[in-house]
């Protein structure tokens, strides 16, 4: 499979939301919510942005509390000798964030904090208020990544929810997204009818589309296909991916 990153509708919507944070009027409105079902590329997208900008990426855990959040931030900020008191550790985080923000400003890069799996902690007021404080004080985007519960939980905290007017719902890939992923990642050409079949049976989930690409590649590299690429007819009877609900193999049907 070809390396690289493919820009889809979800990616464009995410980048638009981050651009809006940069251009916002109210300095405190700098939290961004990214949600959607698993397998739509949320973590891949934010991980790429973190790698490009040198931002902070944390994956929340069910056992998180305020102290655990601060400890994770201290680790990510490479602070080797954290102070003992809660207040002093908080100050260390603030000072280290200021340094990183200044470095990014000089380099012309945006800087922020990503909290993945945020559903797990979005009902915990102390954690969410701490994240709001970092967002307000440093005027940086805090990106909350989750699934169905995230938006509902934020509504319990109006002061926090009002800081996140930009919400990006990751949607299943449409046919254009599917074709872009196939073109960008598949090492063999793929015909339009097979791309449409992949879009349909994958239900637009990136994970399944990438699995299909792997199957198509293996077939295409050992077969002689026409100028249009691997077609639906070429792959009839071949496994294309697994069904995410049942785990059963999805096979390309024979032509009627």
Same domain, 55 and 71: yes
Average pLDDT over residues 177-206: 96
Residue with tokens 């699934």: 147
CB 140 within 8 A of CB 24: no
Write down the pLDDT at residue 163.
Answer: 86
Choose between 27 and 161: higher pLDDT: 161
| Spatial CA neighbour of 207 closest among 252, 168, 170, 238 | 170
Residue pLDDT, tens place only, 72-119 = 999 999 998 888 898 999 999 999 999 999 999 999 999 999 999 999
Same domain, 107 and 202: no
pLDDT of residue 122 exceeding 90, the answer is yes
The reply to whether 256 falls in a domain is no
The residue range of the domain holding 214 is: 175-251
How much of the chain, in percent, has pLDDT values that exceed 90? 78
Same domain, 241 and 152: no
Task: Please report which residue ranges of 7-83 form alpha helices under DSSP H.
Answer: 9-22, 42-53, 66-76
The reply to whether 3 falls in a domain is no
Average pLDDT over residues 207-235: 93
CB 212 within 8 A of CB 223: no
Same domain, 155 and 215: no
pTM beyond cutoff 0.85: yes
Same domain, 126 and 247: no
Enumerate the β-bridge partners of residue 61: none
């Amino acid at each position: 499979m070809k390396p690289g990153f493919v820009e889809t509708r979800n990616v464009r919507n995410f980048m638009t939301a981050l651009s809006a944070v940069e251009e916002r009027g109210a300095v405190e409105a700098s939290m961004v919510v990214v949600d959607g079902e698993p397998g739509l590329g949320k973590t891949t997208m934010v991980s790429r942005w973190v790698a490009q900008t040198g931002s902070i990426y944390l994956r929340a855990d069910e056992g998180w509390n305020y102290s655990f959040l601060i400890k994770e931030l201290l680790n990510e900020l490479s602070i080797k000798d954290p102070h003992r008191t809660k207040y002093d550790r908080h100050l260390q985080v603030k000072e280290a964030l200021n340094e990183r923000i200044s470095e990014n400003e000089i380099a012309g890069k945006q800087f922020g904090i990503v909290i993945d799996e945020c559903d797990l902690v979005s009902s915990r007021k102390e954690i969410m208020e701490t994240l709001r404080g970092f967002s307000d004080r440093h005027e940086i985007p805090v990106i909350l990544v989750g699934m169905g519960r995230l938006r509902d939980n934020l509504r319990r905290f109006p002061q926090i929810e009002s800081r996140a007017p930009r919400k990006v719902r990751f949607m299943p890939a449409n046919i254009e997204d599917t074709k872009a992923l196939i073109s960008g990642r598949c090492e063999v050409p793929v015909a339009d009818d097979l791309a449409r079949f992949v879009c349909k049976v994958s239900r637009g989930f990136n994970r399944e589309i990438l699995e299909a690409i792997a199957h198509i590649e293996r077939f295409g590299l050992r077969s002689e296909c026409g100028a249009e690429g691997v077609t639906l007819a070429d792959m009839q009877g071949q496994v294309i991916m697994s069904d995410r609900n049942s785990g059963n193999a999805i096979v390309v049907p024979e032509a009627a």
